[in-house]
Amino acid sequence: MRQLILDTETTGLNARTGDRIIEIGCVELINRRLTGNNLHLYVNPERDSDPGALAAHGLTTEFLSDKPKFEEIAAQFRDFIAGAELIIHNAPFDVGFINMEFGLLGLPKIAETCAGVIDSLAQAKQMFPGKRNSLDALCDRFGISNAHRTLHGALLDSELLAEVYLAMTRGQENLVIDMLGDQPAPGAVATARIALDDLDLLVIAADADELAAHEAVLSDLDKAIKGTSVWHAAPVDAKEADAEAAA
């Protein structure tokens, strides 16, 4: 699977009022491995950045004045992201700007170019409800060094987000990976597939002492919350579940 961690920097916060993209960074993952095949583009927006945005990214009008306009890099950008799954922190913001830039050129929206979009901010909010889930906060939470990040930068932020995303989704890396339908990356070493249907997995049931210890832990949890913990709730009978689903 080809995935791209994508980030943009812009002149301001609102694409509908004339703000433009000034920097694009993409970091490529293939089968959850960094390939080093990244894309980094600066764009001349033909306007000044808002003071708040300039303080965040530090890309001055003078610096961007000799950079290509979006229409000059659009084909390169579209070719690079075509068919990939995009991973973006606060995806609606970046996708909105990209669609605006594509629209100005009469090009299809990003949904018609890519295989899909994952919002890593939405994922983080589900994993850590009620906590700060900015890129810096997630770097701290997962022990990823961002000491070199003094200003926002599209490629730097994409590189950090790639590490954060891999850490967030590490549970998806199973001991047995079903590669059916996937094509190996160029240069990858071919490995034998495992016929899952032929595996005879040994199931070891808990003994009486282990069950009693487990029950004691759940009872302590019930006392602590003065109620019934979700792990102590009675399992739903399969027939009852089917009846509820049919109702």
26 close to 4: Cβ distance less than 8 angstroms: yes
Q: Which helix (H) or strand (E) element contains residue 2?
A: strand 2-10
Q: How far apart are CA 215 and CA 209, in angstroms?
A: 10
Q: Taking the CA atoms of the chain, what radius of gyration do you get in angstroms?
A: 24
Whether the CB-CB separation of 95 and 88 falls below 8 Å is answered with: yes
CA 192 to chain centre: 29
User: Is 152 in the active site?
Assistant: yes
Catalytic residue among 40, 148, 152, 214: 152
Judge contact between 2 and 29, C-beta under 8 A.
yes
DSSP at 211: H
Residue 240 has φ and ψ, to the nearest 5°, of -65, -40
**Residues in Cβ contact with 1 at an 8 Å cutoff, skipping those fewer than 6 apart:** 30, 31, 32, 85, 182
Measuring CA to CA, how many Å separate 29 from each of 24, 83, 95, 116? 17, 13, 19, 14
Residue 9: closest CA among 141, 140, 227, 155: 155
Catalytic annotation, residues: 152
